[in-house]
Structure 1
Amino acid sequence: MHLLIVEDEASMARRLQRLLEEILGDRITSLVRVPGVAAALDHLSKKTIDLMFLDLNLNGKDGFTVLQSLLAGSFDVIVVSAYRDRALEAFDYGVLDFVAKPFSGQRLGQAVDRYLNHQGHPDRPLSKLAIKKQGKLTLIDVSDILFVQGADIYTTLHLRPRPKNVNIHPTELSDKSLESLSRLLPPDFIRVHKSFIANINACQELRIEGGGRYALLLKDGRKIPVGRTRYQEVRDRFL
């Protein structure tokens, strides 16, 4: 795992590093501490990370600048901040968790476990997803996503037809992996296959296709595969 701590208070940054080293041990490949927005953006322009720990008040500058600039990035974000009143806003941006200062090592460990175990935030699921399109950020309503298909480190979002093109199913590319999206998307989205996440509200029927194969029939007539190990979980959602 490649970690980035964005924290301007040196003692807090050191404590975060110490706790993360205790929690994650040899899972950590690299751990970098930077004191502010400019340094964070510079690091992210050169290096790929998996998880960021972000303060929201960095030498008087707003940490949301980092989120706004790299909202569509492939990494996950855990906010560590004393600004509890900004927690809901942070979740709207698609952060994985909000750890309020002061915090215990146990609370930080819970946030890290959420990342490791692909668990989303049950009380504040993501409502919009940012993607990069022609060099700009575009926000997509999560409710418009029918299913997500993984391809290497990227994903393809299959969306509801737009009113002017009711017979055309648009797609958009996201830099976030299936694992990352499985942590962020609402409970109505379930991992049905190693390469697919489905919006259960867009599905009509679970089919047994023979030969140990299963599939979900979408309301628009398309089918997506269901993995054998995930069949029981998907079946339970239809009961």
Structure 2
Amino acid sequence: MQILILEDEPVHAKYLTKLLTSICGSTINEVKHVTSIDEADVYLKQFHADIFFLDLNIFGSDGFEVLDRIPTTTIHTIIVSANTDNAIRAFEYGVIDFIAKPVSEDRLRLSLERHSLFVNTYQIVGKIQSNTKSRLLQVDLDRLQNRLSHLMEVQKIYLNENLSLEVLAEELELHPRQLSEFLNGKKQTTFHSFLHSYRIREAKDLLIKYPEKNVSDIGFEVGYKSLSSFYDAFKKELKITASEFRQRTSLS
């Protein structure tokens, strides 16, 4: 078994490795420890990891950036973080489990049991699906693309702060896994990245069009429930803050 740990504090990574070795023994081939999001991204693109243990605060960077880049359907991710407020958001990405720090041996055992159950279930489902290969075989992809574009471009459904993969799939008369496969395979993106791209584009337009509006009001207007989520998404998309963007555009 190949295990990857993304953790910026070596003492935590060392302790987790010790627990894993104690629990799993010789079934582990390698435990690879990296300390940056870029290192993890490179490793996951080049090598196979059976389990990916991810901390959500990497030297101040948001660990969710990694989940935006990788499909959790193929990389089995377990979050290890003291930020338990992020648990619901993490499960929305499809992670297997969320372990609060400090990690205990019993809690880690339970998480590994969940992983084992997940793998066995995934293999069974994979065998069942092997005859069809894709959930999209019976879907009219052109019609799906047109309907999706209409919802996003015309109806601007992304402004709904409660929009989720499940809600959007229902609007498209799809199973959520069908929509996830379409976004991952056909559009090379995750649902959250897809949603953020529309919300941030709308925010950019509003920042330019209404210079008198507060940046925070615009964040809520484009569909974000919290300002921190808006600020983080905006900076991730444009590498500058919303206020800096407004200032630069007003000078140009």
> TM tier, shorter chain?
0.5 to 0.7
Residue 119 of structure 1 deviates from its aligned partner by 7.6
Indicate how the Cα distance of structure 1 residues 101 and 117 shifts in structure 2: closer, same or farther if over 3 A, else same.
same
Corresponding pairs, count: 145
**Equivalences for residues 100-111 of structure 1 within 5 A:** 100-111=100-111
Hey, what's the Cα distance between the residues in 1 that align with 2:183 and 2:105? Answer: 33
More strand by share: 1
Corresponding position of 1:150 = 130
Deviation at 1:98, TM superposition (A): 0.3
Partners of 2:20 and 2:57 in 1: CA distance: 21
Aligned equivalent of 2:23: 23
Q: Supply the distance in 2 between the matched residues of 1:71 and 1:14 (Cα, whole angstroms).
A: 26
Corresponding position of 1:231: none
Q: Say which structure is richer in helix.
A: 2
Aligned partners of 1:4 and 1:31 also within 8 Å: yes
Which protein shows a greater Rg?
Answer: 2
d(CA) in 2 for partners of 1:110 and 1:95? 15
Give the whole-Å Cα distance in 2 for the aligned partners of 1:39 and 1:73. 21
Question: 1:135 — aligned with what?
Answer: none
Corresponding residue for residue 67 of structure 1: 67
Q: Deviations over 1:126-151 (max 9, x none)?
A: xxxxxxxxxxxxxxxxxxxxx96137
1:45-56 equivalence runs, <5 A:
45-56=45-56
Aligned pair in 2 of structure 1 residues 72, 96: CA closer, same or farther (>3 Å)? Answer: closer
SS at match of 2:134: strand
| Aligned-residue CA RMSD (Å) | 3.5
Q: Give the gaps of 5 or more residues in structure 2.
A: 121-126, 145-173, 185-252
1:72–1:174 Cα contact (<8 Å) kept? no
Structure 1 residues 158 and 113, CA gap change in structure 2 (3 angstroms): same
Output the amino acid matched with 1:156: S
Give the 4+ runs in structure 1 shifted more than 4 A.
158-165, 169-175
Q: Taking structure 2 as the reference length, what is the TM-score of the superposition?
A: 0.50
Identity %: 35
1:81 lines up with 2:86 in the alignment: no
